[in-house]
Chains A and B, each alone.
Chain A
Amino acid sequence: MRIAGDTIGPRGIAVLAVSAVVGVLLGLHGWSGRHNGLPSTLAGSGPRPSAPARVSRPARSPATTSPATPSPAPSPGPKLSSQSYASYSYQVWPGPLSTAAKAAATGLVIAVHRHGSGIMVTAGVAGRPAPTPRFYPAGAKVFVVEAALGDDSGNSDYNLGDDGLVVTNSQERILQ
């Protein structure tokens, strides 16, 4: 058989048919696992210019700079290390920031301030209104999740669908 000037025989058709079926099976697997993504995904509708992610140093007078009323601390969940995204989670608090963490935070604005006995965390997409800060007790650690660093270019993250934020307690049990 000839298609667009190229010859295709039974073996070629068989190879394409098998790959079509394999593709459908992989797609069904992907569809069934669509909820196994990242925690609190920071997905947006496209790349956003960003200032570098910033993690501030402790404020001298937290009571006067408090941006919001602290909400109650959430109860601890599973350990971060037991999650599928543990391998691409990068610690941003406490610092110092690694090069990978800086790259992973491209396109995001993550701000952490000491607040009384804990920390206040704000994480959002650069260029959009910042969400309400959340309070976490002392010892909390903040991680930025980035499944593929290859989607970052300069100050833009082309795919915020694979970015997320995780906050753990001192035993690295997930709080958010």
Chain B
Amino acid sequence: MSNTAWRNRAASKSARSKASLPAPDRARAGDLADRATQVTAEWAPTAARVLLGLVLAWFGYHELMAPQLWTGYVPVIAPGSGLALAAVLVHGWVLLMLAVAITAGVVLRLAAAVAALLLVQIVVTLTITGGLTDLTLRDVGVLGLAVCLTGATRQRALLTA
């Protein structure tokens, strides 16, 4: 079926469905849908910010608190070395800073861009070392969130003062 035919069919189905409701109910349903759309448009970027911040904060905190458990992820450097530990600590610190900046909305787009670069590095490293797996693709999703926030212009609850 062509796109136009499919759209026409969907539109007539939607119209039939609306027509079956009494007029006041139809208006109320329309208002509710409009309001839900408005609230979502206003707050969804904020929710994305908080959720991405939560992910980064969780990993940052654990890398800082127990770096010895994360050295296996450091590419090239031997996991048991002090250099690997230091690399994990620096990585954890950067993640924590990005988490705070993104959640609070301080220099949001810059922080989101840095987070996106960091996630690109993580995805590439995991893909090289282990191939495309469920873990790698989960990080691709988080990368998508970070990329979205680099272009976000409408935000609520930003700390700009």
Give A residues with C-beta under 8 Å from B: 3-12, 15-16, 19-20, 22-24, 26-27, 29-31, 33-38, 41, 43-47, 147-148, 150-151, 153-154, 156, 158-162
Contact = CB atoms under 8 A, between A and B. Distances in A.
B135 A153 contact: yes
B78 interface: yes
A162 B60 contact: no
A30 B79 contact: no
A158 B67 contact: no
Nearest to B84: A161
Majority secondary structure, A binding face: mixed
Contacts of B160: 6-9, 12
Chain B: number of interface residues, binned into ranges: 35 or more
Contact of A156 (B67, B69, B113, B133): B133
Contact of B109 (A4, A27, A36): A4
A47 B160 CA distance: 42
Interface in B58-96: 60-61, 63-73, 75, 78-80, 85, 89, 92-93, 96
A15 B104 CA distance: 8
A23 B92 contact: yes
A19 to B, nearest CB: 4
